[in-house]
Structure 1
Amino acid sequence: MNKVLKLFTKDSITLPVIAIILGLLLGAIVMMVGGYNPIEAYSALIERVYGNSYDFGEAIREMTPLIMTGLAFAFAARAGLFNIGGEGQFMIGMTAASIVGIHLHGLPAFIHAPLAIIAGAVFGGLWAALAGFLKATRGVNEVISCIMLNWIGLYLSNLIINTFALQSGDTRSVDIQPSASIAISWLSEMMGNARVHWGTLIALLAAVFFYIFMWKTKQGFELRSVGFNQDASKYAGMNVNRNIVKAMFISGAFAGLGGAFTVLGVFGYQSVMASSPGTGFDGIAVALIGMNNPFGVVLGAILFGTLTYGSAGMSFSADVPPEIVRIVIGAIIFFIAAQGIVRWLLKPFYAKRKKEKVS
């Protein structure tokens, strides 16, 4: 436990907390300028999420894919890569899981569901590995290739669903086989039919895997070393190109799992999408809030999911536009990115503490 806590330095804990507080305060100011009551709005937000078992279960459902896409961005960032392609990897993972869930028949649930999950992870990883391969072999910036792959992933997913799984006369696929579902029926019934599923547990285990792999294995050390300095890593005998592709593959596998969970645990089918769902981009915000720390990502997803799902409560109970929540989230990310502002605000407190220690 102490080793895990060492990941959280003074800045990695203090800066996000202060950024969250400042973001909430800025949101409150915006509400007051607009003639809304911020106390009533934030109370409605909390009540919406934690007021009953159904909404709590749905909030957990909202948080789960954010954990996975947040881990995807954070993992690549630890290896010095900017994986902005979580959106495409999420959709490709979703599509792979859908095809396996729909077209494999006669398999028991303990085989079918894991196969569909693995398909989502593998194809999401391969989609990200394309960007890693282009960077490693041709020097193509991963931001550019990931953005292009996001659009290709959207249209390729729609093409596959249209061609191989479309329900006649509809814009969605046929339902996945019941044996591929990862929904937890007994827990769903206890929580008022909230769409809870095993993916939440897997997401938490993925955060633990992230920590163990990145900080407790030789491969993880190599990835972090490449992220710090590619030239020094190459001089030390590490295969930089291989580590770039590996980091992107694992990163994409996280995002692909998020897509698989959404199909197998929440909807049970996949729609033809007019635009990308946005979960991959939200994962970037979650990772930034969590300072690219796997356990920080989990906490960031809880905050992001609470604000996102609870915004409906603000709208219905306090008549506050849900867009205010996006202002709050944007402000939090701004203050995390502009760490100099936060440190400047904290400077008097640090100086006072230092003076007390000296005296």
Structure 2
Amino acid sequence: MAMREILNGSAMISLLAVVLAIIIGGILIAVTDENVQATAGYFFSRPGDMIAAIWNSVSGAYVSLFQGSIYNFRRPGFANGIRPLMDTLTFATPLIVAGLGVALGFRAGLFNIGGRGQMLFGASAAGWVAFSFAGLPFPLHLIFAVVAGVIAGALWSGLAGLLKATTGANEVITTIMLNYVAYYFVYWMLSTQGLLQLPGSNNPKSPGMLPSAVLPPLFGQQYSLHWGFIIAILVTFFAWWLLNRSRLGFQFKAVGLNPDAARVAGINVPRMIVYVMLFSGAFVGLAGVFQVLGTVTTGFSAGIDAGIGFDAITVALLGRSKPWGVFAAAVLFGAFKAGGFAMQASQGISVDIVLVVQSVIVLLIAAPPLVRAVFRLPKPNLLSPLKSNKTQGKKAVVTK
């Protein structure tokens, strides 16, 4: 019984989905490799050549992926070899908090698809504070910039929550439309002198961030990882506490499970919807803050979100909307992103293969029966709790 529960657990399904996606990615790498295609022409006369070509292609690709995302054994010294891991964690940092924002909405039954707009407003607010207030000292300036970005993301997401709570407007539609509004509004501000545009420039780009508002590097200037990663860990702890230890988090989950029952229990459902979207937007806005204060400190454009707002949806799904699951999923996707560039540079394999792997992961996460069928896992026994209760009842009767 315990083994059945482990094999059918959400964590195991997610892990096997990743494994299966990597296998499918290996097949695509082999099929698109020129050497494999050349040896396929004389496979029946010399099958060993094709097998060797497949092995070299797939193993070379995934070794490059590992060396580009975890540790590069070809670089001299541990400090140089560990640099890819620092890049992975840097890519993962905004994904962690953005994924937590989306996951929080999922747990409350809300689909926050407006990560791009919330990131743009969070980045714009943080960036404006970061390059405007030259007289503020280092810690104070950085804190003000972070708080401004978090508030901006929360308010932009809260607008969709308010529409949902007061008019019943579908949050999927409103958040998607608010993405377009945010993008073109931020683009206009970046193209207008006196707002966000770099003075004296015709390009839609902001000035560089002042050093007093930049997130300092975590392990020195030789690495890209900054203190935003520590903040992301703290935010993950907070999200876990909010959902599992606080009264507010209990109300969030109650609304997500059954709004009607929550209303009967005395929970103000419209208020909870607004609160959830405020928290969700605050987390996603923090991802925008990390982009402008930790990654792109020389100035940002309207593409500062870098697709993170949409990748956060995938991360939340893979993490099963659980804080530490989201954290692990974000690190995995950060590894895919960091290692994908190394795979392309060393093996000539398109980064699009990595995107295919990510897409297949989402597909398999959405279809657990397919994963169970491929790995021949036992079907979940939905009646086991009922049977155990009946058994306990019979034992109680016999005891009496």
Matched with 2:25 is 27
Matched with 1:4 is none
Matched with 1:172 is 205
Cα deviation per residue 1:51-108 (whole Å; 9 max; x = unaligned)? Answer: 1233332221111111111111101000110001111101110000001111122111
Q: Take 1:316 and 1:162, find their aligned partners in 2: how far apart are those partners?
A: 35
Once the 2 structures are TM-superposed, how far is the Cα of residue 22 of structure 1 from its aligned partner? 0.4
Q: Take 2:328 and 2:301, find their aligned partners in 1: how far apart are those partners?
A: 32
Q: Take 1:341 and 1:156, find their aligned partners in 2: how far apart are those partners?
A: 43
Contact 1:59 1:305 in 2 (8 A): yes
Q: Verify: 1:153 aligned to 2:179, yes or no.
A: no
Once the 2 structures are TM-superposed, how far is the Cα of residue 259 of structure 1 from its aligned partner? 0.4
Once the 2 structures are TM-superposed, how far is the Cα of residue 157 of structure 1 from its aligned partner? 1.6
Once the 2 structures are TM-superposed, how far is the Cα of residue 264 of structure 1 from its aligned partner? 0.8
Q: Pick closer, same or farther for the CA change 1:274–1:345 going to 2, 3 Å.
A: closer
Give the SS at the match of 2:169. coil
Q: Verify: 1:255 aligned to 2:253, yes or no.
A: no
Give the SS at the match of 2:9. helix
Q: Pick closer, same or farther for the CA change 1:9–1:198 going to 2, 3 Å.
A: farther
Contact 1:100 1:119 in 2 (8 A): yes
Once the 2 structures are TM-superposed, how far is the Cα of residue 347 of structure 1 from its aligned partner? 4.4
Q: Take 2:27 and 2:267, find their aligned partners in 1: how far apart are those partners?
A: 51
Q: Pick closer, same or farther for the CA change 1:80–1:214 going to 2, 3 Å.
A: same
Matched with 2:117 is 88
Structure 2: segments with no counterpart, 5+ residues: 1-5, 34-53, 73-80, 381-400
Once the 2 structures are TM-superposed, how far is the Cα of residue 312 of structure 1 from its aligned partner? 1.1
Q: Pick closer, same or farther for the CA change 1:275–1:114 going to 2, 3 Å.
A: closer
Q: TM-score, normalised by structure 2?
A: 0.81
Cα deviation per residue 1:98-126 (whole Å; 9 max; x = unaligned)? Answer: 01111122111111101110111111011
Q: Take 2:180 and 2:297, find their aligned partners in 1: how far apart are those partners?
A: 24
- The residue identity in structure 2 corresponding to 1:22 is L
Instruction: Give the alignment partner of residue 187 of structure 1, picking from 202, 219, 242.
Output: 219
Q: Pick closer, same or farther for the CA change 1:108–1:331 going to 2, 3 Å.
A: same
> Is the deviation greater in 155-164 or in 69-78?
155-164
Q: How many residues align?
A: 340
Contact 1:91 1:259 in 2 (8 A): yes
Matched with 2:61 is 41
Q: Pick closer, same or farther for the CA change 1:279–1:11 going to 2, 3 Å.
A: same
Q: Take 1:345 and 1:316, find their aligned partners in 2: how far apart are those partners?
A: 33
Q: Take 1:298 and 1:179, find their aligned partners in 2: how far apart are those partners?
A: 29
> Is the deviation greater in 133-142 or in 271-280?
271-280
Matched with 1:63 is 92
Matched with 2:14 is 16
Structure 1: segments with no counterpart, 5+ residues: 1-7, 352-359
- The residue identity in structure 1 corresponding to 2:11 is I
Matched with 1:267 is 296
Matches within 5 A, 1:296-315: 296-315=325-344
Contact 2:17 2:365 in 1 (8 A): yes
Q: Take 2:377 and 2:311, find their aligned partners in 1: how far apart are those partners?
A: 34
Q: Take 1:253 and 1:271, find their aligned partners in 2: how far apart are those partners?
A: 20
Give the SS at the match of 2:220. helix
Give the SS at the match of 1:188. coil
Contact 2:67 2:84 in 1 (8 A): no
Matched with 1:5 is none
Contact 1:83 1:142 in 2 (8 A): yes
Q: Take 2:100 and 2:301, find their aligned partners in 1: how far apart are those partners?
A: 26
Matches within 5 A, 1:104-183: 104-163=133-192, 164-167=195-198, 168-169=200-201, 170-183=203-216
Once the 2 structures are TM-superposed, how far is the Cα of residue 196 of structure 1 from its aligned partner? 1.9
Cα deviation per residue 1:254-297 (whole Å; 9 max; x = unaligned)? Answer: 01001001111111144332696211001111111111111011
Question: Comparing both chains, which one has the higher relative contact order based on Cα–Cα distances under 8 Å and sequence gaps of 6 or more?
Answer: 1
